[in-house]
Amino acid sequence: MPVLIVDDDRSYCGECGRGAFLKEKRHLTVAWPDELGAAGCGVAWTELATHLRSVPYRPGIPADDFVRAVRPDLRYIGVIPWDWRTSGHDA
């Protein structure tokens, strides 16, 4: 799925489940410490989502407002369930 998933302290590619840099238009570079700089899957993101319902360190700010502000160029599709199979680590 060509979704960039943005959480409070990490972002992921919805296609391959590996870490992603927010400013890239495509998943070109993996953003996880153990794979930092490795090639991403190359998908071009068209949508934006989150696993959060609210932003933990900013009381009163809904996660959707926070996430939309990060990448206003992508269509926000809302909160999606955590996928333990592709996450690579705990939520």
Domain boundaries, the chain: 1-80
Instruction: Indicate if the pLDDT at residue 65 is higher than 90.
Output: no
CA 31: distance to chain centroid? Answer: 11
Mean pLDDT of 5-21: 90
Mean pLDDT of 42-46: 97
Mean pLDDT of 45-56: 85
Contact (CB, 8 A) for 1 and 44: no
Q: How confident is the model at residue 91 (pLDDT cuts 50, 70, 90)?
A: very low
Mean pLDDT of 52-81: 83
pLDDT cut 70: percent of the chain above it: 85
CA distance 33 to 88: 12
Instruction: Indicate if the pLDDT at residue 37 is higher than 50.
Output: yes
